[in-house]
């Protein structure tokens, strides 16, 4: 068992990309004046000759990354999710997605847990936007260990990837020695028979906490860490639906367009199953400390517990 | 440039124009005006300036070309066809289902296309990325990109221009096809992108303004661009939209309209006359 680490996934990303730089000499990192926040600064310090600050011009940064990829580089282009996936959506779609170039789009400070900066920076639409681009892989790691593995997998995968990072420190849940990351394969963190919580990113840790608390009350909750939202691990979703009969999804994203909708599509088409989506309920966020905001928006273990009990009629 | 070389380039440019008009006619849609205005620039790039090999279109050391004004791909496809990347007969499949010649360039479908473009303002950023890759890898290939004068109304063009100068991309040559017209009318009435040369100079480019149909001027401009060190080059090429097709010249309406059968015949007659004149000299 590896040690428990409490670290923001943006920090883990910075460490990972710097750590893998020697092994993968084609990797270059681009940022748009947010290196200190997205943690690409860690890479910049270690490999300044492979770090490209594009200034505050995210749309151009995505195009630069596309041109670099067309010449054999493996660019990671980072900004806040609001800008790399949001502002530059059309550049990602047309200059990266359509030619299927080997660009890794990094969206940091995703979700409501940006905190005090408020609604303009709390991106809860990025997963939805990226899901609509054909051929885009979407990774939303839950903790430090998963981020380290996801960055390596993204480097080795040939094609566009969207990598989502969080601002807030999260306790690791994937400390098991047999932990194995594979793009498109969810991880069952807790087995259970009464209901399944399929969570992604920051909500994975919360779902585990909820499941552990409910276990003491005799409720058996399966928890799936769905680190890859596209391509979605359909098999694992359908297996959970068959075996537990009820599904809850949990994500720090609008309930429109995110993990919940991806799971809903699979269930509706292949095995209609009762589903409850936990997420941001189609509203903008506001300023406040991240942990308090997460409670306000129901993106926490206690709310997951409530929803589980309600779904089971308890 | 000696006269036989010039004539050869003029003939290539004329054939590119014929290919472009033929493609758009068979597609019943597409963009002839800007393809015709850029044909001489394309001919010079593909037949004289660029280090490229149609038999090895993915050569990592080749010069790169990005048609940032992607809608003028009938001209680019014509240049690639004439240069031998594929048969000029392919032009008749332009924009048809299953064709390698998409309505806007797709690098994965068409041999010789270095970047997928079409959404204006994006190609120039990719060209900057290619030039930067060349610098990082210490390779000596050059990157060329043609933009429309309407296209430069896109803000991303100026983000890219700032980047190119800041990173000292002297292996980048940006060409503005300054034909003066965009869909809604003259560029100076619609978006007012001028003065183009002064703006590019202020952004840190070495700027030359030339007649984009004069091969001596084109040759001198590209030769000078190669000598510029520490900053990117820009060539503002004054051109005529619809060049060499009598009824299309300087007509806004021929930005994105296909000729009917009768108009196609007239256009090809015009171009055949140009060709016959060149061959008779």
Residue A251 belongs to a domain: yes
A63 contacts B125? CB cut-off 8 A:
yes
A166 and A214 share one domain: no
B116 contacts A64? CB cut-off 8 A:
no
What pLDDT score does B110 carry?
98
Local structure of residue A230 (DSSP, 8 states): E
Chain B residue at shortest CA distance from A74:
B133
Number of domains present in the structure of chain A: 2
A57 contacts B115? CB cut-off 8 A:
no
A302 and A247 share one domain: yes
Q: Are B86 and B100 in contact (CB under 8 A)?
A: yes
A51 and A20 share one domain: yes
CB contacts of A52 in chain B (<8 Å) are 132, 167
What pLDDT score does A1 carry?
81
The answer on pLDDT for B11 being more than 80 is: yes
Q: Which of A68, A91, A100 sits opposite B108 (nearest CB)?
A: A100
ipTM computed for the complex: 0.97
**What would the mean pLDDT of B190-213 be, rounded to a whole number?**
97
**Confidence band for B24, pLDDT divided at 50, 70 and 90:** very high
Residue A182 belongs to a domain: no
What pLDDT score does B157 carry?
98
B115 contacts A67? CB cut-off 8 A:
yes
Q: Which domain holds residue B144?
A: 3-280
Q: How many CB pairs under 8 A join A and B?
A: 107
A29 and A125 share one domain: yes
CB contacts of A91 in chain B (<8 Å) are 119, 122, 125, 156
Q: Which of A55, A70, A90 sits opposite B114 (nearest CB)?
A: A70
CB contacts of B64 in chain A (<8 Å) are 70-71
pLDDT, tens only, B34-84: 999 999 999 999 999 999 999 999 999 999 999 999 999 999 999 999 999
A83 and A162 share one domain: yes
Is some CB atom of chain A closer than 8 A to the CB atom of B136? Answer: yes
pLDDT mean across residues, chain A: 98
The answer on pLDDT for B13 being more than 80 is: yes
What pLDDT score does B43 carry?
98
A22 and A151 share one domain: yes
The answer on pLDDT for B124 being more than 90 is: yes
Residue whose pair of structure tokens reads 């900053």 in the numeric block: B231
Residue A160 belongs to a domain: yes
Q: Which of A60, A75, A99 sits opposite B125 (nearest CB)?
A: A60
**Confidence band for B281, pLDDT divided at 50, 70 and 90:** confident
pLDDT mean across residues, chain B: 98
A154 and A47 share one domain: yes
Q: Please name the residue ranges forming H helices in A126-201.
A: 126-131, 144-156
**Confidence band for B95, pLDDT divided at 50, 70 and 90:** very high
- Residue in A47, A51, A63 to test binding to B, most B beta-carbons within 10 Å: A63
Residue A179 belongs to a domain: no
| DSSP assignment string, A162-177 | EEE--SSEEE-----T
pTM for this predicted structure: 0.97
Half-sphere exposure for B264 (CA within 13 Å, toward CB): 16
What pLDDT score does B250 carry?
97
Side-by-side strand order, sheet with A228-230: A51-53, A27-31, A74-80, A104-108, A161-164, A137-139, A228-230
pLDDT, tens only, A52-98: 999 999 999 999 999 999 999 999 999 999 999 999 999 999 999 99
CB contacts of A67 in chain B (<8 Å) are 66, 115, 125-133
- Residue in B126, B135, B137 to test binding to A, most A beta-carbons within 10 Å: B126
A163 and A265 share one domain: no
Local structure of residue B38 (DSSP, 8 states): T
Chain B residue at shortest CA distance from A48:
B136
B159 contacts A60? CB cut-off 8 A:
yes
Is some CB atom of chain A closer than 8 A to the CB atom of B51? Answer: no
**What would the mean pLDDT of A224-241 be, rounded to a whole number?**
98
A54 contacts B128? CB cut-off 8 A:
no
CB contacts of B140 in chain A (<8 Å) are none
Q: Sign of torsion, CA B41 B45 B48 B49?
A: positive
Q: Which of A49, A57, A66 sits opposite B129 (nearest CB)?
A: A66
Q: Which domain holds residue A265?
A: 187-311
A101 and A211 share one domain: no
What phi, psi does A201 have (nearest 5°)?
65, -135
What pLDDT score does B32 carry?
98
B128 contacts A95? CB cut-off 8 A:
no
Q: Are A91 and A79 in contact (CB under 8 A)?
A: no
B136 contacts A50? CB cut-off 8 A:
yes
A202 and A56 share one domain: no
A164 and A195 share one domain: no
Query: So which residues of A are the catalytic ones?
Result: 58
Residue A77 belongs to a domain: yes
What phi, psi does B2 have (nearest 5°)?
-80, 165
**What would the mean pLDDT of A204-215 be, rounded to a whole number?**
98
What pLDDT score does A2 carry?
87
**How many angstroms away from the CA of A71 is the closest CA of chain B?**
6
pLDDT, tens only, A1-42: 889 999 999 999 999 999 999 999 999 999 999 999 999 999
**What would the mean pLDDT of A92-111 be, rounded to a whole number?**
98
CB contacts of B159 in chain A (<8 Å) are 55, 57, 59-60
pLDDT, tens only, B132-191: 999 999 999 999 999 999 999 999 999 999 999 999 999 999 999 999 999 999 999 999
Residue A178 belongs to a domain: no
Is some CB atom of chain A closer than 8 A to the CB atom of B81? Answer: no
What pLDDT score does A158 carry?
98
CB contacts of A55 in chain B (<8 Å) are 159, 162-163, 166
**What would the mean pLDDT of A251-269 be, rounded to a whole number?**
98
Residue A292 belongs to a domain: yes
B160 contacts A60? CB cut-off 8 A:
yes
- More confident position, A65 or B280: A65
A57 contacts B126? CB cut-off 8 A:
no
A211 and A273 share one domain: yes
Q: In this structure, what CATH number is given to the domain that contains residue A73? A: 3.40.50.970
Burial grade of B210 (CB within 10 A; 0-12, 13-18, 19 or more): buried
Q: In this structure, what CATH number is given to the domain that contains residue A292? A: 3.40.50.920
The residue from A136, A171, A206 where one domain ends is A171
What pLDDT score does A285 carry?
97
Q: In this structure, what CATH number is given to the domain that contains residue B152? A: 3.40.50.970
Give the number of other CB atoms < 10 A from CB of residue A5.
16
Number of domains present in the structure of chain B: 1
Q: Which of A193, A174, A197, A166 shows the shortest CA–CA distance to A263?
A: A197
A68 contacts B129? CB cut-off 8 A:
yes
Using DSSP's 3-state secondary structure scheme, residue A40 falls into helix
Is some CB atom of chain A closer than 8 A to the CB atom of B106? Answer: yes
């Amino acid at each position: 068992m590896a040690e428990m680490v409490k670290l923001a996934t943006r920090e883990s990303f910075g460490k990972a990309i710097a750590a893998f730089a020697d092994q993968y000499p084609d990797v270059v990192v681009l940022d748009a004046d947010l290196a200190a926040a997205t943690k690409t600064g860690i890479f910049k310090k270690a490999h300044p000759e492979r770090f490209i600050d594009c200034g505050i011009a995210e749309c151009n940064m995505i195009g630069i990354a596309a041109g670099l990829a067309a010449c054999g580089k493996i660019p990671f282009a980072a900004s806040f999710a609001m800008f790399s996936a949001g502002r530059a959506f059309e550049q990602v779609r047309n200059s990266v997605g359509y030619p299927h170039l080997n660009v890794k789009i990094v969206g940091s400070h995703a979700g409501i847990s940006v905190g005090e900066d408020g609604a303009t920076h709390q991106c809860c639409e990025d997963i939805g936007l990226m899901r609509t681009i054909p051929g885009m892989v979407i990774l939303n790691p839950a903790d430090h260990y998963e981020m380290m593995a996801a960055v390596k997998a993204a480097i080795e995968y040939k094609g566009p990837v969207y990598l989502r990072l969080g601002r807030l420190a999260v306790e690791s849940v994937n400390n098991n020695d047999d932990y194995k990351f594979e793009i498109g394969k969810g991880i069952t963190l807790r087995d259970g028979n009464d209901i399944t919580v399929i969570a992604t990113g920051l909500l994975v840790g919360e779902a585990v906490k909820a499941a552990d608390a409910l276990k003491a009350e005799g409720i058996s909750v399966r928890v799936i860490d769905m680190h890859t939202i596209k391509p979605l691990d359909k098999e694992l979703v359908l297996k959970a639906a068959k075996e537990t009969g009820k599904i809850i999804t949990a994500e720090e994203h609008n309930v429109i367009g995110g993990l919940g909708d991806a799971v809903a599509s699979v269930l509706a088409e292949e095995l209609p199953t009762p589903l409850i989506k936990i997420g941001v309920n189609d509203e903008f966020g506001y300023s406040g400390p991240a942990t308090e905001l997460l409670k306000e928006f129901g993106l926490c273990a206690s709310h997951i517990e409530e929803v589980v009990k309600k779904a089971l009629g308890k | 440039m000696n006269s036989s070389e010039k004539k050869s380039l003029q003939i290539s440019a004329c054939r590119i124009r014929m290919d472009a008009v033929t493609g758009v006619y068979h597609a019943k849609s597409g963009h002839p005006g800007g393809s015709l205005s850029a044909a001489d620039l394309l001919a010079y790039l593909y037949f004289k300036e660029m280090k490229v090999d149609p038999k090895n279109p993915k050569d990592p050391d080749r010069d790169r070309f990005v048609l940032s004004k992607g809608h003028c791909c009938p001209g680019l496809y014509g240049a690639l066809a004439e240069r031998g990347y594929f048969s000029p007969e392919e032009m008749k499949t332009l924009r048809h289902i299953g064709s390698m010649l998409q309505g806007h360039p797709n690098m994965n479908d068409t041999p010789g296309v270095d970047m997928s473009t079409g959404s204006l303002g994006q190609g120039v950023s990719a060209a900057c990325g290619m030039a930067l890759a060349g610098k990082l890898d210490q390779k000596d290939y050059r990157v060329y990109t043609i933009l429309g004068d309407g296209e430069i109304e896109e803000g991303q063009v100026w983000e890219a221009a700032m980047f190119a100068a800041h990173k000292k991309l002297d292996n980048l040559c940006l060409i503005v096809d300054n034909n003066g017209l965009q869909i809604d009318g003259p560029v100076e009435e619609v978006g007012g992108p001028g003065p183009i040369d002064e703006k590019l100079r202020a952004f840190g480019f070495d700027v030359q303004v030339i007649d984009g149909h004069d091969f001596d001027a084109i040759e001198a401009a590209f030769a000078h661009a190669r000598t510029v060190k520490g900053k990117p080059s820009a060539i503002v090429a004054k051109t005529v939209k619809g060049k060499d097709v009598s009824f299309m010249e300087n007509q806004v309406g021929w930005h994105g309209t296909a000729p009917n059968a009768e108009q196609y015949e007239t256009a090809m007659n015009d171009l055949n006359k140009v060709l016959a004149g060149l061959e008779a000299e």
